[in-house]
Amino acid sequence: MAPANRRVGLALSIALALLAGAAPAHATFPGHNGAIAFISNGSSGDQQPIVDTRGLYAAGPGAKRADEPAVLLECQLTDSVPSGGDCTGTTYDAPSYSPDGRRLVVDTGERLAVIDADGSDLTLLPATTADDGNPAFAPDGRRIVFSGANERGTTDVYVRRLDGGGARVIVYDAADPVWSSRNEIAYVRDGNVYRADPNGRHRRFVTSGVSPDWSPNGRRVVLIRPSPNLTFAGSTGRIYIVNAGGGGLRRVGSNAYLSNPAWSPDGRWLAFDGFDLPVRKRRLTGRPITREIAPTQIGDGGGFVASYDPAWQPR
């Protein structure tokens, strides 16, 4: 394969791998717009030795592009062997801020972790299942909701306290949980978004879609409706906003290859990523300005950087 074609093939492989996983949860709570946290994976490509860098980063408030983001967590692997940084977790996904913006909960592989917003004081949480993921804070900041692998090949939705005690299932065979400022949990089952109380009761259908995030006031939901013309699995499609009761559905933009939308704390912007696209933010009010926050690109020799899973800090 020619070098150019090889790089294109690598780019597609990266994007497909990212999109094939479960969509991360996000919880956006009201406040002023703080930093945008995101996940980034990179590789040196054909250069020897092969150095992979994986981590959690944050672009400061007002940043147009994360050329020099804050490093919150970073692990370097040389020829697949940890060689630098903090490799407590060798993969990172699905960051989500606490209501006061002082902490993040993040998927570090098979387990979840809580970390201060400046990257200090990483604490791994006890495993509930063989693969815990997609965490999001409760509005009280003392509990989280998350998904956990089950024996049926799907995930269940759990709630747990952060100060100890076991986790409990609130919805079986569900994913993408996220907790609103009005104390409701949205989740996905069979390609549809539902909402329920924190005990999993009073369940209500919202609309079809995946990857939900609540607006800061808890009255609306942003989500992805996967594009039917895509030939791969994943939570990629068009962004829609809907009222919590299921009415007022409207599309945001026309791009059919977007994923992982996250509301800004002031409710006026959305952050998102997409198929082979950087992390961006788009203004919802006034002129629809779109700005790049973190890059996704292919370099010479097959090297790459892929940024995704934005989460917005309230402050």
Give residue-wise pLDDT tens across range 48-82. 899 999 999 999 876 555 568 999 999 999 998 99
Q: In this model, does residue 275 exceed pLDDT 80?
A: yes
- Edge-to-edge order in the sheet of strand 51-59: 81-85, 70-78, 51-59, 33-43, 304-314, 297-298
Q: In this model, does residue 256 exceed pLDDT 50?
A: yes
- What is the structure's pLDDT at 68? 82
Distinct helix (H) and strand (E) counts, the chain: 1, 26
Confidence of residue 290 (pLDDT cuts 50, 70, 90): very high
Q: In this model, does residue 7 exceed pLDDT 70?
A: no
Confidence of residue 16 (pLDDT cuts 50, 70, 90): very low
The residue that leads in pLDDT, 103 or 235, is: 103
Confidence of residue 286 (pLDDT cuts 50, 70, 90): confident
CA–CA dist 56, 313 (Å, integer): 14
- What is the structure's pLDDT at 235? 83
Across 42-46, 175-179, 214-218, 251-255, least confident range: 42-46
Give residue-wise pLDDT tens across range 148-205. 999 999 999 999 999 988 899 999 999 999 999 999 999 999 999 999 999 999 999 9
CB–CB of 89/113 below 8 Å?
yes
- What is the structure's pLDDT at 136? 98
Write down the pTM of the prediction. 0.91
Place of tokens 């201060």: 116
- What is the structure's pLDDT at 23? 67
Confidence of residue 9 (pLDDT cuts 50, 70, 90): very low
List strand residue ranges (DSSP E) for 98-232, in order. 103-107, 112-116, 123-124, 132-137, 143-149, 155-161, 168-171, 175-179, 185-189, 192-196, 204-208, 210-214, 220-226
Q: In this model, does residue 213 exceed pLDDT 90?
A: yes
Mean pLDDT for 25-52 is: 90
- Edge-to-edge order in the sheet of strand 132-137: 132-137, 143-149, 155-161, 168-171
- What is the structure's pLDDT at 8? 40
**Token digits for 4?**
């150019």
Q: In this model, does residue 6 exceed pLDDT 70?
A: no
Q: In this model, does residue 85 exceed pLDDT 50?
A: yes
Across 6-10, 40-44, 237-241, least confident range: 6-10
The residue that leads in pLDDT, 165 or 305, is: 305
Q: What's the mean per-residue pLDDT of the chain?
A: 89
3-state secondary structure of 55: strand
Q: What percent of the chain has pLDDT over 70?
A: 88
Give residue-wise pLDDT tens across range 119-130. 999 999 999 999
- What is the structure's pLDDT at 11? 42
Q: In this model, does residue 104 exceed pLDDT 60?
A: yes
Give residue-wise pLDDT tens across range 131-143. 999 999 999 999 9
